[in-house]
Chain A
C-alpha cells in the first residue's frame, strides 16, 4: 500500500483539486502573458485580465477532468486487480486518453490512448528511477568484522554415498528482527 497518498476514493478529490490549482495558476501565467502580448498598446492590462479570466479556468478545468478520470480509473483498477503497481497508472492513463477522445472516432481514440499510456509510463519510470537513486544511500551494507581465520574444515563425514547434507545454521535473531 502506498502510504504517501491518502486512501482511494478521497485521493480523487484531492488530485482534482491539485490538478485544477496547477492548471489555473499555470494557465493564469501563460494566458496573462499571452493576453499582454496580443493586446494593443494602452489596452495591455485590460487584455491581460480578460485573457486570464476567460482562459485560465478552462485550462484548470481541462487538467481537473484529466486528473479526475485518471484517478477514478486508477482506483477502479486497484479495486479490481487488488494490487498497486505502475501498470495501474499506465492502464488508467491509456483509458483516460481514450475516453477523452471518444467523440473523435476510433483512430483518434487509439492514438490518444497510446499517448496517455506512454506519458504515464514515462512518469512512472522516472519516478521509479528517482526513488531508486534517492534510496541508494540507505543500501544495507554487510559490516566488516575482524574475525579470526576460520578453523580448517573437518573431513567430510561419510554418509554411505548419499548426497552430502548441508547443515543449516541455527536461526538466530537478527539485529532488526
Chain B
C-alpha cells in the first residue's frame, strides 16, 4: 500500500523478511539478516522489508486499499464504548435527530398527500351534483385539491413538531427512548390544537400518543429486523 511489503519480486541480496507470507499481526520485529554475508552498516530505508501484515493487518498484502466506515476497524476503541443512536428508514440507517426530523416529516407529508388525495377523490364522488362525467371529474379534482394539501400540511406540521419536541426532550434528559417519543407526541398534538380549546387539545394529544405508542408496541413485539425504526439510543456494543 505504501510501498512497504512489496518486495517479493525484487532480488534481495542481504535482507529478507520473515513476514512476507505472514498475514497475522505480528510483533514489530523489523528484519532479520539471514544471509551469511556481512551486513552493511549503510542501510537505506528502501531496503528494509517491513511485514505488511503488521502495518495493515486487514489488507493482507493484496494491493487493495480499503476505506473503512467504522472509525476504528483495527481494534478496540480507546475508552469506554459509547451508546449510539440506532434507527432505520427502510434499508437506510436513520441515526441522527436530523434524519428523524427530515425523513419523518417527508414520510408524513407524502402519506398525508396521497391519503388526502384518495379521501378527496372519495368525497368528490360523493358530493358530485349531477351524473355527467365532466361534473364528476371536476368535483373530484376540486375535492382532491382541497383535501390533499390540507391533510398533508397538517401531518407535516404535526410530525415536525413531534420531532423537534423529541429532540428537545432528548437534549434535556440525555436519553432517547419511548418515554421521550410518547410525551413529545402528546405535546405536539396538544400544541397543534391548543387554539381550539382544552378539550380538542387533549383529544389531539391523545390521538398522537396513541399513534406513537402503538408504533412503539409494534416495534417492541415484531422481529428484530424492522422496516422503519425510530432512532433511539441503543446500549453500547460489546467491545
Provide the B89-110 mask, 1 if CB < 8 A to any CB of A, else 0: 1101000000101111111011
Instruction: Tally inter-chain residue pairs, CB-CB below 8 A.
Output: 72
Question: Cβ of B106 and Cβ of A173 under 8 Å apart?
Answer: no
Q: Which residues in chain B, 40-92, are within 8 Å of chain A measured between CB atoms?
A: 65, 89-90, 92
Nearest residue, chain B, Cβ from A12: B106
For residue A26, CB closer than 8 A to chain B, the reply is no
Whether A10 touches B90, Cβ cut-off 8 Å, given contacts A16-B105, A57-B154, is yes
Q: Which of B6, B101, B106, B157 contacts A13 (CB 8 A)?
A: B106
Contacts of B6 in A (CB 8 A): 173
Chain A's interface: helix, strand, loop or mixed, by majority? helix
Q: How far apart are B97's CB and chain A's nearest CB, in angstroms?
A: 12
B136-165 interface (Cβ within 8 A of A): 149, 152-154, 156-157, 160
Q: List, in ascending order, chain B residues with CB within 8 A of A61's CB.
A: 109, 149, 152-153, 156
Smallest Cβ-Cβ distance to A172: which chain B residue: B3
Which residues of chain A are near B221, meaning CB under 8 Å?
Answer: none
In this complex, which of A7, A14, A24, A173 has the most chain B Cβ atoms within 10 angstroms of its Cβ?
Answer: A14
Chain A residues with CB under 8 Å of B220's CB are none
Contact with B along A1-18 (1 / 0, CB 8 A): 000001100101111111
CA distance A15 to B102 in the complex (A): 7
- Number of B residues, CB within 8 Å of A: 25
B2 within 8 A of A: yes
Query: Are A10 and B154 interface neighbours, CB within 8 A?
Result: no
Q: In the complex the two chains form, is B106's CB within 8 Å of A15's CB?
A: yes
Assess whether B195 is interfacial by the CB under 8 Å rule: yes
Number of interface residues of A (CB under 8 A): 25
In the bound complex, how far is the Cα of B105 from the Cα of A16, in angstroms? 8
What are the residues of chain B within 8 A of A15 when measuring CB–CB? 102, 106
**Contacts A17-B107, A173-B6 given: A7-B102 contact, CB under 8 Å?**
no
Chain A 51-79, CB-CB to B under 8 Å as 1, else 0, gives 00100111011001000100000000000
- Is residue A175 within 8 Å, beta carbon to beta carbon, of the partner chain? yes
Instruction: Among A20, A49, A175, point to the contact of B106 (Cβ < 8 A).
Output: A20
Query: When A60-B156, A61-B153 are in contact, do A10 and B92 touch as well, CB less than 8 Å?
Result: yes
* Structural contact, B2 and A16, CB atoms closer than 8 A: no
CB atoms of A21 and B110 under 8 A apart: no
Are the CB atoms of A24 and B157 closer together than 8 Å?
Answer: yes
Query: Could you tell me the distance in whole angstroms from the C-beta of B88 to the nearest C-beta in chain A?
Result: 11
* Nearest chain A CB to B66 CB, angstrom units: 14
| B101 surroundings in chain A (CB, below 8 A) | 17, 21
With A57-B154, A173-B3, A175-B3 as contacts: A18 and B102 at CB distance below 8 Å: yes
Q: What are 8 sample pairs from A and B whose C-beta atoms fall under 8 A apart?
A: A10-B103, A17-B102, A17-B105, A18-B102, A18-B105, A21-B102, A24-B157, A64-B106
Sample of 16 further A-B pairs with CB below 8 A, known A18-B102, A64-B156: A6-B92, A10-B92, A13-B103, A13-B106, A13-B110, A17-B105, A17-B107, A18-B106, A20-B156, A21-B102, A24-B160, A49-B195, A56-B157, A61-B156, A64-B152, A175-B2
Q: Which residues of A contact B (CB under 8 A)?
A: 6-7, 10, 12-18, 20-21, 24, 49, 53, 56-58, 60-61, 64, 68, 173, 175-176
